[in-house]
Chain A
Amino acid sequence: MTVALSGQELAKRIEEKFPGSIEESSRDSLVVKAGSLLDVAAHLKDAEGLKFDYLNYVTAVDYFSYFEVVYQVTSLEHNQTVIFKTRCHDRENPTVPSVTGLWQGADFQEREIYDLMGITFEGHPNLKRILLWDGFPGHPLRKDFQP
């Protein structure tokens, strides 16, 4: 059985290493500040005892007052998994650092979020629309999208 790590406990351990990097944590997930996302993600991937080497998925949710980008990672070695998130409150120009440098599997998925949700991933090698055509007006998965 894949063990879901407690967000709160993991948040404590990360907070020791990177003070001020965690915005919020609950039983199922932890919310990382966008500024420290790459440091925390790299730590999750490489730190001894964590080794989250497999990225299950990346997705994004529109909560009107902010966008939430959701990552779930799994450690094949320890068979444990965790969900971490990051939020961006800027609706006009939401920006999140790209994790493609750590997990290449995020490549197409970040492009999809950019396409459908309109979140820019800084540092993505080829950030352009993937499902819709260039020049499509708006981002359909946003809650305020008008066709």
Chain B
Amino acid sequence: MTTTELMTLKTEPFVLNFGPLHPSTHGVYRMRATLDGEVVLDIEPVFGYLHRGIEKLAEERTYTGFIPLTDRLDYICPMSNNLAYCLAVEKLAGIRVPERAEYLRVIMAELQRLVNHFIAVGTFLNDCGAFMTPVVYMLREREKILDMFDMVCGQRLTYNYMRIGGVGQDIPEEFLPALRKFLGTTPRFIEEMEWLLKQNEILLARTKGVGILPRDTAINCGISGPVARASGVNRDLRKADPYSIYDRFEFDIPTGEAGDCYERYRVRIEEMRQSLRILEQVTKQIPGGPVRAEVPHLIRPPRGEAYAHLEAPKGELGFYIVSDNSIAPYRCHVRPTSLINLTALREMVRGWKVADLIVIFGSIDITMGEVDR
């Protein structure tokens, strides 16, 4: 066979199965990729391997009894889930939160954002082929935050810390010194890590211009969080629709323009710096006082419905709750950030190679606990 003949040789597209158990799928995500040689023609995601029916379980629990289950949604950041749920119930029942509790909530939410971005950036670099070294450094930093969470609630992964009308308990004496120490060392770690990575030619070649998500598609697909901001959507609920006490702090919203994998990575690094900035201000302003409002043991919100959302590390996380004035929600719907952020994946990967598919998927940063619920 001559070379010209070889060049015109057509191959049949074939289907390659990824996951559900594969290190690059961040849990139990599964997709069927249709390939032409090495080029991705189409993908079809398959969900449901981690479906536990959390929305149905909510209908059989009291309002407070559902908080531990929210930990299991996005298990990388349970504090944000706790907070989003409590905000929705407080809106529904008209409960006001004491000042000190608001500050504690902001501390936990911002620490949680750092945890999520450490994991997101670390595993993303894993997917790029920098196997294990960066992620272990990230996990080392994350460990410091987990120790602090351990101090306040005795848990390292499923915190169950927020309560309707405040937080579970006040922080112990050693918490604020630990936080100040952490704020002293972490900026340097982030500088160092970024310096090592942003000039790395392999990283740039693998991520710059790869998996572009145009701004219009991002909005139309309902994408939120760092993925949307990397595409130029300047929307962060902490500024656009301030909840809790975020309107008291100064911080910037990092955005990108290109909408490629590199921008998504860069926006997350930048967000870490902004979170540290917020934490600096919080530690200076935090007042004394009670950490929990007087709330009845069994909360019976008036008939009605409420939707409350917040800027979780992955994007807009919200709870839509319908009350029929009983002790359990009539309906509790979670707005799943990760699931909705996956909507655009199909468009983002078309025409790229299999190796890029892994990188693009990793740059979205999802947790299957939230996708399947």
Contact = CB atoms under 8 A, between A and B. Distances in A.
Interface of A: 1-2, 28, 53-57, 59, 61-62, 70, 72, 76, 79, 83, 103-109, 112, 116, 129-133, 140-141
B316 interface: yes
A56 B316 contact: yes
A73 B217 CA distance: 16
A108 B48 contact: no
B240 A105 contact: no
Contact of A76 (B233, B318, B330, B333): B233
Nearest to A45: B220
A53 B55 contact: no
A103 B220 contact: yes
A62 B233 CA distance: 35
28 contacts: A53-B219, A56-B222, A56-B307, A56-B309, A57-B307, A57-B340, A59-B331, A59-B333, A61-B330, A61-B331, A72-B307, A76-B219, A79-B240, A103-B220, A103-B221, A104-B220, A104-B221, A104-B343, A105-B343, A108-B340, A116-B55, A130-B47, A131-B48, A131-B51, A131-B372, A131-B373, A133-B48, A140-B56
B349 to A, nearest CB: 16
Contact of B56 (A103, A105, A141): A141
Contacts of B220: 53, 103-105
Interface in B302-360: 305, 307, 309, 316, 318, 320, 322, 330-331, 333, 335, 339-340, 342-344
A127 B44 CA distance: 13
A57 B221 contact: no
B53 interface: yes
Contacts of B222: 54-57, 103-106
Given A56-B309, A130-B47, A107 B335 contact: no
Given A76-B219, A79-B240, A61 B322 contact: yes
Contacts of B305: 28
Interface of B: 47-48, 51, 53, 55-56, 217, 219-223, 233, 235, 240-242, 305, 307, 309, 316, 318, 320, 322, 330-331, 333, 335, 339-340, 342-344, 372-373
A17 to B, nearest CB: 23
Contacts of B330: 61
Contacts of B339: 108-109, 112
Contacts of A103: 220-222
Contacts of A109: 339-340
Residue from A57, A103, A112 with most neighbouring chain B CB atoms (10 Å): A57
B335 A56 contact: yes
Contact of A54 (B55, B219, B320, B322): B219
A55 to B, nearest CB: 5
B372 to A, nearest CB: 6
A138 to B, nearest CB: 12
Contacts of B233: 76
A106 B289 CA distance: 44
A59 B51 CA distance: 17
Contacts of A72: 307, 320
Contacts of A107: 343
B318 A56 contact: yes
A107 B343 CA distance: 7
B221 A59 contact: no
A131 B47 contact: yes
B113 to A, nearest CB: 21
Contacts of B53: 140
